Structure formats: C-alpha cells, structure tokens
Amino acid sequence: MSNSPFSAEQADELVQKDEQYVMRPWTHPAGEPVIVARAKGCVITDVHGKDYLDLTAGYFVNNAGHCHPRIVEAATQQLHQVLQVSGKHGTVAAVRLAERLVNLLPSSIDQAFFSTGGSEANEFALKMARQVTGKSDVAYLDNAYHGLTLGSLEVTASEKYRDSAGKPLGGETYAIPNAYCYRCPLGPDTCATQCLDGVDEKIAARPNTAAIIAEPIQSVGGLAPPEKWWARVDAIRKQRGLLLIIDEVQTGLGRTGKMFALEHYGLEPEIVSGGKGLSGGVGSLAMTCAGSGVIAKFFGGTTPTSGGNAVSAAAGLAMIETLLDEKLIDNARVMGEHFTQALWALRDPWIGDVRFTGLLGGAELVADRDTKEVLAKKAVAAIKDALHAEGMLITVSGLYGNVLRLQPPLTITAAQIDTFVVCLRNVLAAVRQSV
Ligand SMILES: Cc1ncc(COP(=O)(O)O)c(C=O)c1O
C-alpha cells in the first residue's frame, strides 16, 4: 500500500504542476526535484509514496530530525499565542531564544539580532563590520559560501555563484587561501600552514580592511582546516586589528559535534551569523550576534519585517533543547566517526578522501587515488542520480564538485548509515561498469 496521502493520478498532477508553475533556476540531475508529501526523522516521503533517507537534513536545517514532536508541539502552542509582531517589539519566544544563544556562544558575544535567512544574516554582519570600523574592505576564504544575495555573494568564492549577480563583484572584497589538506603537496608532517604565507602581506596591502568573514569549517567548500591554521589566521587578524565574522549558518546547532563549530578552534569572534536550523525548520530565522563593542556603534537601518518571528523562535528554542536533552550533539560526533570508518572500509578506488567533523562531511571522489585526479562530472552526476533512484538523497559539493556531501539529521542511527553505505558500494560499482 502506498505511503502517500495522494492517488497516483494526483501525484502525477502535482509533479506536472511543479514543472509548470515553480521556477527552479538551476540545473539538476534526472529525478530531482522530489515533491515531498511528509517527513519524519531521517526519512522523507514523496507524493508517490516513495521513501528517501534524507542525507541533506532538509538542506541542513532539521538537525533534530523532520517533524520532531517536541518542535511541532512548541510551534503549535506558539500558534495560539502570537504569530507576528513588529520586529521593533519583542516576543517571549524571541527573548528566550536570544538569551539561550548568547549563553551558548563565546563570551565575546552579548546580543542577538534576528533576521530571516543566512544570506541576510551575513549582510547584517558585513554592515556591522563596516559601520563599526569605518572601513569597507572584507577578506573571505577561498572556496567560501556565505549566500546568494548581492552582499553575501561579494564574499562567496565560487564563480558559479558569483556569476549569478549579473554585475561585477569584488571591488571591496578579496580572497585569502583556505587549507585544502587532502590536496596539499606538503603532507601533514611538513605542514607549517605554508598555505597562509603571504596572507599578512596581502591584508597589509589593503589597509581599508574591516574584517575577515569565514565559515569555521566549510560545507559547500568541503574543507575543515586544522587547528594550527585557524590559530595563525586568528593571530594575523588580531595583529591587524580586523574584526572576525564567523558564519555558523551551516555549522551551528550541533552539526559538527559541538553546539557551534567555532568551539573546535577556541575562536572568540566579534560577530557570529547563523540560520538554517535556528527556526527548528518552522519558517525561517537567522541571527547576527555581536559583542558590546560592535553593538554600541551599529545602526541596523530598521528591522527586517519577520526577523525573530515568534513561531520560528519557539520552534528553534525547542530544537536547541532537544539537541541537548537527547544528546544529539554527541550522536553527531559518534555517527560521524561511524560514517568515516564505514566509508573507508569500502576500500573503493573512487573514494579518495573521507572528511567528517561530527555529521558535517562527505567523501571526495577521484578517478585515481594516487594522482588524486578528480572524478569526471559525468560519473559524479551518475552516482548522484543512481543514489537518488535508490531512495538516498544527497548533495554534491567541493571546489571541484566531486564531494558527496553527507549531512543527515543528527538523529541518524548506525543501521541507517550502514544501509546507505551498502547502497553506495553497489552504486559506485555499477557506475564504474557503465562509464
Ligand atoms: C555557510 C552558509 N552561509 C550562508 C548561507 C545562506 O543561507 P540562506 O540560504 O538561508 O540564505 C548558507 C546556505 O547554505 C551557508 O551554508
């Protein structure tokens, strides 16, 4: 019996109407998009009743799993109290969430400013840094992703995304290198963060630099720098008097095995942005948090209409409490290790590297493990399509578009990971035969 609330005809019609009415200005592999009828835990079900293991966590939002009863309950209760007020006022839910966040963040952070999406949160972060310092330039990392709005694109590295701006970018922003350890010619034993040589000089040559913006660990970029890399960047920026903006939009709320990924490196930024799971998956909510030195000089302009929406805030707070009470952040760490071991155990000739920090991670695919030649786009697309057909939802990321990004809800079990890994083994073997 179908698991769908729709008949086959109704489901076909919905798919056809999606194609007709919904604008999707990106290319996607065959089989996408999935029109979702319902979702629970790590599984989403499409209108035809087909189940998928969601290794994207609803695009890295549903860290406590889809439709967690505690989040649904908190949002439902809030629906009966207040839905929306002017952002110039407050709601009980937003006050409680702000307090919780400030107490979870490092002591360099004193208050939270709410907006509605990760890109917007970064726009405010950039505004803050520029207003406070009176300087306009901002450095970002190679391979960075900070969003798709015009301001956030200025600090997003990939040409693929920057080209969508429809105008030249980069007059006031510039890139500095990130650590791509898997492809570094030096190897771990001789690493003295040589990839950062010249960065101090580059910043010195741009005396109008206000800040460095960075994800502590890159998800779209697929890179996790070693501690000594971050220690050197942090020292350089402090010496040069630059603000540090840490983008926790994707790494925050338990994903990496810590509440915030900056904890892995002991960073104390002046500004922290966040979003995605902050809404508990109900509506959209984002934050730009800052320390009192920044706040004293910041004028937002006015307030975003739906910033700090009460229902999203209540749901986000419930998600944070769920992560803590159900020890899901510990589970992220343990399951990240399980994923790593299970993927290496495949000994697949196409799996060149496996990189997980908690459940932020993936596998880099190569045509040749010795030369590290990037696996051809056609093969990567065939793998993604075949996984999709087998009911495994993943995304692809990385500088060369060859990293299978594996970031499920933090509730995932070892058995679910093992099911995926067996499926991946078969898919890799089948695609190898066919290309
Ligand atoms: C690190 C990072 N920053 C910012 C964003 C943009 O967030 P949004 O899509 O909510 O605007 C994303 C989205 O993937 C992200 O991963």
Atom of ligand 1 nearest to the CA of 119: 11
- Predicted local distance difference test score (pLDDT) of residue 239: 98
The tens digit of pLDDT for each residue in 394-435 reads 999 998 999 999 999 999 999 999 999 999 999 999 999 998
The tens digit of pLDDT for each residue in 290-347 reads 999 999 999 988 889 889 999 999 999 999 999 999 999 999 999 999 999 999 999 9
Q: 118 C-alpha to center of ligand 1: Å?
A: 5
CATH 3.90.1150.10 domain span(s) along the chain: 8-64+327-434
Q: Which amino acid residue places its CA nearest to atom 9 of ligand 1?
A: 118
> Are 13 and 381 contacting, i.e. CB atoms less than 8 angstroms apart?
no
List, in order, residues 6 or more apart from 31 with CB less than 8 Å away.
385, 388, 389
Q: How far is CA 432 from CA 52, 296, 310, 424, 426, in A?
A: 24, 59, 50, 12, 10
Top-level class of domain 8-64+327-434: alpha beta
Pocket test for ligand 1, best of 56, 145, 272 (most atoms within 8 A of CB): 145
Task: For the chain, state the CA radius of gyration.
Answer: 22
The tens digit of pLDDT for each residue in 153-210 reads 999 999 989 999 999 998 999 999 999 999 999 987 899 999 999 999 999 999 999 9
Q: Is the CB of 248 under 6 A from ligand 1?
A: no
- Predicted local distance difference test score (pLDDT) of residue 276: 97
Q: Which amino acid residue places its CA nearest to atom 16 of ligand 1?
A: 250
CATH 3.40.640.10 domain span(s) along the chain: 70-325
Cα 362 to its chain centre, rounded Å, is 13
Q: 2 C-alpha to center of ligand 1: Å?
A: 35
Q: In 3D, which of 142, 136, 167, 168 has the Cα closest to residue 156? A: 142
DSSP 279: G
Q: Which listed CATH number (1.20.1270.360, 3.40.640.10, 3.30.1360.70, 3.40.1160.10) goes with 70-325?
A: 3.40.640.10
Cα 140 to its chain centre, rounded Å, is 16
Q: 30 C-alpha to center of ligand 1: Å?
A: 25
Distance (Å, rounded) from C-alpha 245 to C-alpha 272?
A: 6
Q: 238 C-alpha to center of ligand 1: Å?
A: 26
Atom of ligand 1 nearest to the CA of 122: 4
Q: 81 C-alpha to center of ligand 1: Å?
A: 30
Task: Supply the mean pLDDT for the chain.
Answer: 95
For the beta carbon of residue 84, count every other beta carbon within 10 angstroms.
13
- Predicted local distance difference test score (pLDDT) of residue 192: 94
Degrees to nearest 5, angle at CA 261 with 255 and 266: 155
Q: 10 C-alpha to center of ligand 1: Å?
A: 34
Q: Is the CB of 140 under 6 A from ligand 1?
A: no
